[in-house]
Amino acid sequence: MSIANKLIKFLFALIACFSLIACNQNISEVKNITSQNVNSYENVESIYEIYVPICDANEVLKIEEVMLPEKLNGMNMSCSKIYNESNVIVVLYTESPNIVIHEIGMYNFETDRYKKLINIDKNMDFEICTSNDNYMIVKLSEDDWRTCQLYYYNFTKMDLVKFFSYTVDTNTNALYFQSENNILLIDDKVYFDDFYMDTNGKIRVNLYEYTIEEQKLITLFEDAQNPMLYNGNVASFRKNSEGKFKDIVSNDNIVLINTRDLKDIVANENGFYCIENKETNHTTKTTLFQITDMIKNKPVLSTYSSIANLRSNNRFVAWVNYYDEKPYIYDTEKEQLVLFSDVSSGINNFCFSDDLGVLINTKDSKNRFYLFKSR
């Protein structure tokens, strides 16, 4: 993995350079689509075909533009996650000319104060997986992701503690599988999966629960992966009758939904939402992506432009658009799209923390940051 890609994996401000979802799409073949709605936004030119009502963000959200410095302590700064209404988790890096990440820290945009949290060694790779008020979960690797460990950072004690090492193939001294599956943090419990080889030489995956305060690790389920929080409970992918990981099953073993071939998926208390590849035109090399409410089997929007990186909190679902467009999020409670009409078209990325959200709007290489929450 190149140094540049290591940074892009974590820095939302540079996300336009990198997509987790491959899309063989020629920019010249991307065309605008007119939204077809029955409200005041009918016939607004957009990269989206929209199938649900639209409301203006100012009707349902309190929105505040926040100013974040481009540089801090002589280093470049990029926002990574929202912590609370006045603090964001940031990454400090330099370019000389290669990108070198130096530290993870907390920046208070109300007081303009910064606190270093984790020092990143020059040859270390990292991923900020998830966080809450008390803890941050981080993946670290010192050998270009051949091996990997999970750590938790305690915001109160300000210490970084390793609690799990992913299983390594003894023949190759590398991970059996470099997973991008979700890591879930609920209070002080961490849910994650790990791939391994059983005694018959078959690659398997288990779902684990680690309790930080008790320093206790248990195997929650065998043959389960990609934990998600749905309606206050942990759900995960399990094998269907054909032995494929297509069923989403609750912790009390109730099959919640049978899935298709998905590009991305998130869950909240109202349902499961995915990006799926509806069709690919091999002649024009264009792909139609669709965001779908899976439980209702209801399309939200579709586009021939590349979208990826679904994120959610308990009410809203957001994604990254890689071609200039106004920012939208999906209100899963009211089943409507929310349009940030006062924000310029651009590349839009979002991050959530409980009821808070941050919109990072990138236009002509300039970033603007908007903090929002429900009214």
For the domain made up of 3-374, give the CATH fold. Answer: Methylamine Dehydrogenase; Chain H (2.130.10)
Q: Given this model, what pLDDT does residue 96 score?
A: 81
Burial of 280 (0-12, 13-18, 19+ CB in 10 A): middle
Cα separation, 181 vs 339, whole angstroms: 29
Token duo for residue 155: 């915001």
Instruction: Give how far Cα 103 sits from Cα of 115, 137, 165, 362, Å.
Output: 10, 15, 22, 23
Question: Looking at residue 43, what is its pLDDT?
Answer: 53
Question: Mean pLDDT per segment of 10 residues, for the chain of length 375 residues?
Answer: 43 38 32 40 77 97 95 94 95 89 96 96 91 97 96 97 97 92 97 96 96 98 97 94 94 92 92 94 90 96 95 96 97 98 97 93 94 95
Burial of residue 11 (number of CB atoms within 10 Å: 0-12, 13-18, 19+): buried
Angle at 312 between CA 366 and CA 55, to 5 degrees: 75
Quote the pLDDT of residue 42. Answer: 54
Q: Is 261 helix (H, G, I), strand (E, B) or coil?
A: coil
Q: Hey, how many other C-beta atoms are within 10 angstroms of the C-beta on 258?
A: 11
What predicted TM-score, i.e. pTM, was given to this entire model? 0.86
Residue with tokens 């629960």: 209
| pLDDT, position 339 | 98
Burial of 145 (0-12, 13-18, 19+ CB in 10 A): middle
Q: How many angstroms separate the Cα of 260 from the Cα of each of 238, 245, 249, 292, 294?
A: 13, 10, 15, 11, 10
Spatial separation of the C-alpha atoms in residues 318 and 306, rounded to whole Å: 14
Beta carbons of 69 and 61 less than 8 angstroms apart: no
pLDDT at 216: 98
| CA–centroid distance for 108 within its chain | 23
